[in-house]
Structure 1
């Protein structure tokens, strides 16, 4: 419905422009033309935040008149406003394309001030695209032009943007000096918004360095300035950060008070997405305090406030957390209902988003077509009937091209989605088959049968319980791209307990978790460790001696390192055994490498697998060491 309304608004605006242009005599630089352009730009500015699509249409309309006048001042003004409208729409690459057009003009005129501003804006847009190397490149280009100038707002803003880029990269040590350098400049210039933003950024940087108490004064200064300026969005953001600090310091009651204040302000200014996240924090802490039923009540009340059309991300988040809370108090039926609803909504919102993108492409293309048609109508008013017939043929061809392009685009997107989904399903099925190895299942059932024959009912129940939990976890984890580290460790514990029972307790296993990794807040790709643990036990263990195996999760920069190390016979000796048993190990390596390649593409990183024989270069030591680089997600 929103797309239809926007489309009608666009065509209505274009109709007005068409009426104007058909009556407009050859373009001249007159007062009325100037007033029309300024009026359209002012209207676009007034709705840029709340209705960026219509604002973009108004800017395009102003551009038609500016190009008709062929006055560089107005053409540049419209180009700048188109950058702002693309930015408001989240189309950063298109904003960058227009910035390059402006940059080319300013470089031709050798306008150093505008060149610096353009480089700054390009760098900022690349930061939002997470293209950090390109961002820093253009920001430093801007600084080249500023080096010869006295400290002013533009120069200070670029310095601050460099710091913000490092902050976005989580490179806190490099970010802090830039913010510390720019703060006295903004203070001297009495640029209060800059002072507020910089104090907030310093606070965020110190939080990233885990210097929580040091961050508090900076956030309070930012809050004071935002309050004086009545910038409620800034007030809410800063209050939310203060709540996070109390959460990290485990001052849960104080944290809840801050989040309640932030939520109240965000609701007042109709920033519902941020409001739901603040309230989610309150529910999360309430659960931490041992009140899961109260947390459930908060989640259910929040879900009642959501708008399915506009709050899809918040709904998914709330349902996910509600599912965890129901499971934590043993209400598994409700947990299953919320999980099922969450999965259905994810699929629904995915399809809606793709259809929305296709519709937006159609609207954008149709808008450009109509603008082109308006220009053609103006140019063809004095041409004879033969020219008009030719124009009609061109329009028909363009409409046909539009239909063809839209159809091909839709088919291309659909084919890509199906191909990606098929590849993911194939990997999921292979991984599931690998995890649920028929030999392991058969051996497990044989062990249970043995306990029953011996009359060892307690041992049989214990083994069967672990086996059931393991199977359930494997089935659940195989459907998720990321699972909580806590659940992954639980799965490994069940598996290792079964193996130890089966091998008469000769397996000594240790699972070490980096203290910087929160078991209940860090998510990892599931089921990477188990196939290699199985290979270690199956091929590397000597039944006559104790077998030691270490599983270690550590945090390394923006990756997680998983290490699996045993003191068995070593991978080189395993490889020398040319038996069919190696097929399972080869399959584990092949599937793992395929999963790592898929994760590298999706997460834009490089994740590797390394196999090491510990006897290499050390004849007194034996065993195998597996090292995996993995992505991880950290949630509050």
Structure 2
């Protein structure tokens, strides 16, 4: 549906506007602010009529203020009229749904109050809306309803308007001969009535019909006549259409590009005045072609950009397509290839929706050629270009397919690598966790030395039998406390150094009671923060137990155990792991003498505990990437064994894993 073909009559369709002299405007403006609602309503309506063609926005604003007032004072006739007038505004921009909304409301009130004039007006404007929607049968049905009323009322003016509207329908249907007949009927009626807007519109439409029939001499005659009338009476909307069509004839038929340029520039100025996007687009598209003929590519680009933007707004796909094509060609000619590429995807999308396979070749041509005069080249050169374009497109397509497949395979490969590493780490973690659990269970059993438990219970029994109730209670309390600590620590991977020393001290205190304080002990942490540093639990106890049972107990008196701990690495903000160096020193009889005396099962227990400790430290080293080391050194004084020194380097942490 071409909006310009049927929108020429709708600015005055089916209503008689009151045209007033300029000298009455001041008095009307005074009445428009009057305290009398009736006078104010009438003044607003007449002012809206006066500005209808001259200042459309002001006219629309006056009508809407009047409509609100009419509703407030319940003047249904004025409300009906104003709804109709407001609805007319949307004919200009072909907003069919808005037309139907206001005109149906107007028709409802008109039928209620029995006003035949506004009933006919509503039918006619509803017909316009259906015409915009290209529902010709519904449009003709409503127009005929309106025409019957106009004939009954002998209203020649509105009969003429209806004839003009039927003429527009036949323009839309491309039956230009029939359209000329109806427009000539309308023109005769408007001439007799001296109704200038109607006479100008019917004259303009007749010129358009002759133009479509390629009868340019007749077309110019009618278009020039319409243009003169529109200029004399400030009918700028009609003037915009007249100047555009005259520009087209000068450009296409007479090849008078300078005159065409003048007409197009005037068309653009008028279209901008009324925010007519289609008019802005059409005039700029034509101005772009003239600029190219004058070898002014930069100016052509500016015009084509405006055309593309405005054709996009109004949804004119074919014109939109042509504007983008010309813009790309102009950009290519100016050497702006990167900018031209930005429009290719948009062009292809339009091509797929509105053009046949033959038009596709033209689109591909625009994507690969830098020559804007492709239409003037020989067919042989065109075929060669198309073949080159097809090869290039096939090459690009193959490249895209290759990189798509390559990218897909790379993504899949990276995914499987990531997944493999994830499961590898998970399996490693589960293995370490399982091994850790096993070692902790075995260590717990080793810590719960049955000989130690048996000896402790014997000591308690001895205290009881000797009526040393207080000693037995103290011993039993310390024993139970130690057992609870061992059980609690066995459930943790790391414990703070302070808790581990408390458990060691509890153990040593029990052994002191059992061996009647035959030895003493010293624990030294060398300024280490015992509440922060963390170590694996139950590491040091077996070595201390071994020193007491096999080094100090045979000595019987003046025994001493020293536990000295130092840091190999300080705890810093970005360092989680480090190494603690633990020295366990006793002044016992030495390993050689102890091995000769010791034939008890405890010997096996100590060996098992030492093995488990080494396995645990190896497990922790695997997690923390810190090595561990256990060394045992025999101490001598004057070549006589004077004790044993055990050096342990083990990982510690502030905040484990």
TM range (shorter): 0.3 to 0.5
TM-score for both structures, normalised by structure 1: 0.43
Greater Cα radius of gyration, structure 1 or 2: 2
